[in-house]
Amino acid sequence: MTRISLIALGAFAIMAGAICILVLVPQALLSDVQPPPQLAPYTERQLVGRRVYMANGCVYCHSQQVRDPAFTTDVDRGWGSRATVPADYAYDRPHLLGTMRTGPDLINVGQRLPDADWHLIHLYDPRSVVDWSLMPAFPFLFEEKSPNEVRPGDRVVRIPGPRARRGVAVVAKPEAIALVDYLISLKRQYPVADTAAGMRTAFGGRNGAH
């Protein structure tokens, strides 16, 4: 090939075409997706918690999607009662679908594990509650004080078992409380609205089904 314009225009045109097919056309098709009425927008504090989730890279080990039960064991594992659909993510900016399951899926963790105290303990020292866990501990989301420094209003986290450190009061920082608030808000168990089902049909069936 000797013509530079041919290479440049061809390269540009092919990539522009691909952007249309996989980004712009889906964007137009999905613009009708309405948030289901049962799905509440995130609160201010949950959004702060979502940013803590992003900042500490939770997404690199935890997905937030349930796939078709015909194709996967996601539902059998108790990660949700149905596959998630585009409308479930209407308030997510950006998405946190994830590509790794070094840890379990979290899109319904609020349903499965609704106890905020459990989450705080688990964040401070995962192996105090799940001994085989590979999750990093996040002690920097907590303050470690001597018990007589604890002020009223402090969220004290009581670590159970032999891993508890004597003479140390663990107090959750606002980031930890916000993160747990976000985690507990993750529930996508309501029945899918007709619009979402309609979208699926229009797109040729649920993804993953053979």
- Which residue, 38 or 207, has its beta carbon nearer to other proteins? 207
Distance, in Å, from the CA atom of 61 to the CA atom of 41, rounded to the nearest integer, reads 25
Q: How far is the CB of 114 from other proteins (least distance, A)?
A: 19
Distance, in Å, from the CA atom of 120 to the CA atom of 44, rounded to the nearest integer, reads 19
- Which residue, 62 or 155, has its beta carbon nearer to other proteins? 62
- Which residue, 72 or 189, has its beta carbon nearer to other proteins? 72
- Which residue, 79 or 155, has its beta carbon nearer to other proteins? 79
Distance, in Å, from the CA atom of 111 to the CA atom of 38, rounded to the nearest integer, reads 14
Asked if residues 103 and 60 have their Cβ atoms less than 8 Å apart, the reply is no
Q: How far is the CB of 141 from other proteins (least distance, A)?
A: 8
Q: How far is the CB of 145 from other proteins (least distance, A)?
A: 16
Distance, in Å, from the CA atom of 39 to the CA atom of 22, rounded to the nearest integer, reads 27
Q: How far is the CB of 128 from other proteins (least distance, A)?
A: 11
Distance, in Å, from the CA atom of 112 to the CA atom of 117, rounded to the nearest integer, reads 14
